[in-house]
Amino acid sequence: MRLVLASSSPRRRDLLARIGATPDRIASPDVDETVRRGELPRAYVLRVAIDKAHAVAREADEIVLAGDTTIALGRRILAKPEDEADLRRMLALLSGRRHHCLSAVCVIDTQGRARTRISDTVVIFKRLTDAEIDWYVASGEGMGKAGGYAIQGKAESFVRFLSGSHSGVVGLPVFETRAMLETAGYALG
């Protein structure tokens, strides 16, 4: 049985390695991640993970694993920032506030059955000063990241409280992923 990772994220590969899973093949899914009108955060992140898994061709002996992560501030979805101004806006919104990091996983087994799970992690940032926001924006680290921050990097110094899956905030909840791969019959090392 072979594992296909439907992601180009090096963080997801690293997180899989922590549970003894090495993808036999990596495929970058091409899906529309645009938030649909009226779409709520949980439905959004789940839809994108499922779309990513189904966007990758699967051979009969392959399991496909895909994931997606987003930041939810109430009903608002904070996806990847479009530019530095958008990143500043996101950091200002998150400053001193509680938010949810939703990380969805979809596994398609060798029989073609898709299973999904969502990890919901509560994160609270400290109140950020303008200088801290400037420093973080200048680092470039937040570009291309859901909610405009990478918890595994400099932004970890902003986290006052976290309840849930740290790896889920990074991009792949390893507890849920391990359970899903085992259920699909994938032997972890």
pLDDT score of 27: 95
The answer to whether position 71 is within a domain reads: yes
Answer whether residue 189 shows pLDDT above 80: no
Residue 6 near residue 52 (C-beta atoms within 8 A): yes
CATH number of the domain that residue 121 is part of: 3.90.950.10
Per the structure, the complete domain to which residue 154 belongs is given by: 2-183
Cβ neighbour number for residue 139 with a 10 Å cutoff = 13
Report how far residue 114's alpha carbon sits from residue 106's, in angstroms, rounded to the nearest whole number. 7
Domain count along the chain:
1
The answer to whether position 22 is within a domain reads: yes
The answer to whether position 143 is within a domain reads: yes
pLDDT tens digits, 43-67 = 999 999 999 999 999 999 999 999 9
The mean per-residue pLDDT over the stretch 107-115 comes to 96
User: In sequence order, what DSSP letters do the residues of 146-183 get, joined into one string?
Assistant: GGG--TTTGGGGGEEEEES-HHHHHT--HHHHHHHHHH
The answer to whether position 189 is within a domain reads: no
Active-site hit among 14, 30, 32, 68: 68
Angle, helix 130-139 to helix 84-94, in steps of 10 degrees: 140
Tokens of 89: 């806006």
The mean per-residue pLDDT over the stretch 31-44 comes to 95
Instruction: Provide the pLDDT confidence category of residue 130 given band limits of 50, 70 and 90.
Output: very high
pLDDT tens digits, 138-184 = 999 999 999 999 999 999 999 999 999 999 999 999 999 999 999 99
The answer to whether position 52 is within a domain reads: yes
Tokens of 101: 């990091």
Cα Dmax for the chain = 53
The answer to whether position 33 is within a domain reads: yes
The answer to whether position 188 is within a domain reads: no
Determine whether 68 is an active site residue. Answer: yes
The answer to whether position 18 is within a domain reads: yes
Question: Which one-letter DSSP state was computed for residue 26?
Answer: E
Instruction: Provide the pLDDT confidence category of residue 8 given band limits of 50, 70 and 90.
Output: confident
Half-sphere exposure of 4 (CA within 13 A, CB side): 22
